């Protein structure tokens, strides 16, 4: 059956049933429509490489709350659009499983996971342990939370394993990409860091992994997890305002540990941007910096976090990047012919999220140049997309809002120059066999613990300074 569709009650997704229950004739018509799209758009399995798509409709059922920006049903929109074109027929599709407790403990602490599993929805906010940052408007406790987390984490872990086993060349998990979660702390709508768990899987085979983050928010959780290793390089391109925009980290000078003797020195690359950056500037910056990182670091696998809140028209983001520009980043990574894991991330205007991830799926399978941008008439919730094309214009998206680009050409080139200089201090990767490098996950865990202590001290110091200066206010997402 092609789709699962929700039945809504008072705006909350409560029950799911197959579209096929509308009747055999209706379902046959839908199958015929999809078959026609496959033919019209030339959708076939890619030649010479495999793409896998990892998803689970149960993830889409969960609900953070009426007013919460994170809407898992955006995955329903994306899946419906992908499948309406018939793109699923060009991929190996897998219903993802829940990650095991042991797998989650590769990164997360046992006491944090236990609390995540047993926390009760009905408790008032003040009763939640402050150490875990759970409860309240940021990371609420909702029904089925642990199942939700373990399912999206399981999808990323399995996708990484497909890459390690050479069963996939590109693996996709649009439900993943929750990059803010820490070892023992929820943060920024993220509870379990599936990206860290996936990278740990990749490191069992791959000597070096390049993590790239195009979410509008700094990928702080992933950066922190691999702060002290030279086997992972993190590159985050994001909006930065240290006092007013979450998470308040990711300035240009944040390059890794200060000590040159620490293997992770210079391996954290941050690209702080202002509002309004457009496709031309963004894509040029992305290709330039990723090209420099690949040339210097020589990764054997790439993880690309495709947060869609960097798109124009997002509920939280303020960039002017369009679906075409966002997709160009995916296309460039694909062109490098390095095993590639694509995960989702932020994105708080569901129709934008669905457009972007459907387009990027078409890039992964190689049919983007032949795909009709007009959304198929049989697409579920088609009216929700507002515009009938995958590529609405910027003026249509912003509906007349004037949003200037606050990133000067001079600023962008200075960023590139600074990072070029930073990369000079990264040792060129030696030519080694993957099998000769042990995973050594214990060392990573020790590094994470040390980094957590340092982070807590830095945050405490920053809060004290802000209070003294009268700057301690609520941070914008």
Is 348 labelled a binding residue? yes
Question: Residue 135 corresponds to which tokens in the numbers above?
Answer: 């409860």
4 located within any domain: no
What angle (nearest 5°) sits at the alpha carbon of residue 394, between those of residues 391 and 400?
Answer: 135
In order, the DSSP letters of 33-95 are: HHHHHHHHTT--PPSS--EEEEE-GGGGG----TT-S--TTHHHHHHHHHHHHTGGGGSEEEE
365 located within any domain: yes
Could you give the CA distance from residue 199 to residue 111 in angstroms, rounded to a whole number? 22
Question: Residue 161 corresponds to which tokens in the numbers above?
Answer: 């394993």
Q: Render pLDDT for 359-380 as a digit per residue (tens, 0 to 9).
A: 999 999 999 999 999 999 999 9
Is 125 labelled a binding residue? no
89 located within any domain: yes
Please check the confidence at residue 10 and state whether its pLDDT lies above 90.
no
Q: Is residue 390 packed enough to be buried (19+ CB in 10 Å), middle (13-18) or exposed (0-12)? A: buried
11 located within any domain: no
Is 217 labelled a binding residue? yes
| Rounded average pLDDT over 120-149 | 85
Give the CATH number of the domain where residue 73 resides.
Answer: 3.40.800.20
Q: Count of CB atoms within 10 A of residue 69's CB?
A: 17
Could you give the CA distance from residue 205 to residue 222 in angstroms, rounded to a whole number? 19
Q: Which of 35-49, 248-262, 340-354, 430-444 has the lowest mean pLDDT?
A: 430-444
b/e map 223-240, b = 16+ CB within 10 Å: bbbbbbbbbbbbbbbbbb
21 located within any domain: no
pLDDT of 18: 44
Range of the domain at 144: 41-469
Give, to the nearest 10 degrees, the angle between helix 145-164 and helix 110-118: 130
What angle (nearest 5°) sits at the alpha carbon of residue 197, between those of residues 195 and 201?
Answer: 110
Active-site residue (options: 108, 180, 218, 326)? 180
**Residue 233 three-state SS:** strand
Farthest-apart Cα atoms in the chain, separation: 69
Please check the confidence at residue 437 and state whether its pLDDT lies above 60.
no
447 located within any domain: yes
| Type and span of the H or E element at 328 | helix 323-335
Q: In which band, very low, low, confident or very high, does the pLDDT at 445 lie, cut at 50, 70 and 90?
A: low
b/e map 43-58, b = 16+ CB within 10 Å: beeeeebbbbbbbbbb
180 is catalytic: yes
Q: What is the distance between the terminal CA atoms of the chain, rounded to a whole angstrom?
A: 38
27 located within any domain: no
Q: In which band, very low, low, confident or very high, does the pLDDT at 131 lie, cut at 50, 70 and 90?
A: confident
- Considering only residues 298 and 431, tell me which one the structure prediction assigns the higher pLDDT: 298
Number of domains in the chain: 1
- According to DSSP, residue 190 is labeled B
Q: Render pLDDT for 226-268 as a digit per residue (tens, 0 to 9).
A: 999 999 999 999 999 999 999 999 999 999 999 999 999 999 9
Is 280 labelled a binding residue? no
Please check the confidence at residue 298 and state whether its pLDDT lies above 50.
yes
What pTM does this model have?
0.89
Q: In which band, very low, low, confident or very high, does the pLDDT at 121 lie, cut at 50, 70 and 90?
A: confident
**Residue 79 three-state SS:** helix
**CB contact set of 441 (below 8 Å; sequence gap of 6+):** 106, 200
17 located within any domain: no
Is 213 labelled a binding residue? no
Please check the confidence at residue 472 and state whether its pLDDT lies above 50.
no
């Amino acid at each position: 059956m092609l789709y699962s569709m929700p039945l809504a009650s008072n705006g909350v997704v409560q029950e799911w049933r197959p579209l096929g229950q509308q009747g055999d004739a209706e379902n046959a018509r839908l199958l015929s429509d999809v078959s026609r799209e496959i033919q019209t758009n030339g959708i076939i399995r890619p030649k010479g490489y495999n793409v896998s798509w990892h998803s689970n409709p149960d993830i889409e059922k969960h609900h953070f709350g009426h007013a919460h920006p994170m809407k898992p049903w955006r995955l329903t929109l994306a899946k419906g659009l992908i499948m309406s074109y018939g793109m699923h027929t060009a991929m190996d599709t897998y219903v993802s499983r829940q990650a095991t407790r042991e797998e989650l403990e590769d990164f997360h602490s046992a006491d944090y996971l236990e609390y995540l599993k047993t926390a009760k929805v009905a408790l008032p906010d003040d009763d939640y342990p402050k150490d875990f940052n759970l409860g309240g408007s940021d990371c609420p406790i909702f029904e089925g939370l642990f199942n939700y987390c373990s399912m999206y984490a399981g999808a990323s872990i399995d996708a990484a394993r497909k890459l390690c086993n050479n069963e996939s060349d590109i693996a996709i998990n649009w439900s993943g990409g929750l990059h803010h979660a820490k070892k023992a702390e929820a943060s920024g709508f993220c509870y379990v860091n599936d990206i860290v768990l996936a990278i740990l899987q990749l490191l069992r085979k791959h000597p070096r992994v390049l993590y790239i983050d195009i979410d509008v928010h700094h990928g702080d959780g992933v950066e922190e997890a691999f702060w002290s290793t030279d086997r992972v390089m993190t590159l985050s391109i994001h909006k930065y305002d240290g006092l007013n925009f979450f998470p308040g980290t990711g300035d240009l000078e944040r390059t890794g540990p200060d000590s040159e003797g620490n293997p992770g020195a210079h391996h954290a690359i941050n690209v702080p941007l202002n509002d309004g950056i457009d496709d031309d500037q963004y894509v040029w910056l992305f290709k330039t910096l990723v090209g420099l990182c690949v040339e210097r670091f020589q990764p054997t696998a790439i993880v690309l976090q495709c947060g869609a809140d960097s798109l124009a028209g997002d509920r939280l983001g303020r960039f002017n990047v369009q679906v075409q520009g966002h997709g160009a980043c995916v296309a460039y990574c694909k062109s490098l012919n390095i095993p590639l894991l694509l995960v989702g991330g932020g994105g708080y205007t569901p129709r934008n999220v669905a457009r972007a991830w459907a387009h990027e799926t078409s890039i992964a399978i190689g049919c983007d140049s032949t795909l009709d941008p007009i959304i198929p008439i049989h697409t579920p919730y088609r009216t929700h997309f507002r515009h009938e094309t995958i590529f609405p214009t910027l003026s249509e998206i912003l509906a007349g809002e004037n949003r200037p680009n606050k990133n000067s050409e001079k600023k962008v080139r200075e960023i590139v120059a600074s990072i070029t200089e930073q990369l000079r201090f990264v040792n060129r990767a030696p030519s080694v066999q993957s099998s000769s490098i042990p995973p050594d996950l214990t060392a990573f865990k020790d590094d994470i613990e040390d980094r957590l202590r340092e982070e807590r001290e830095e945050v405490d110091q920053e809060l004290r300074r802000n209070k003294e200066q009268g700057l301690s206010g609520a941070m914008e997402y």
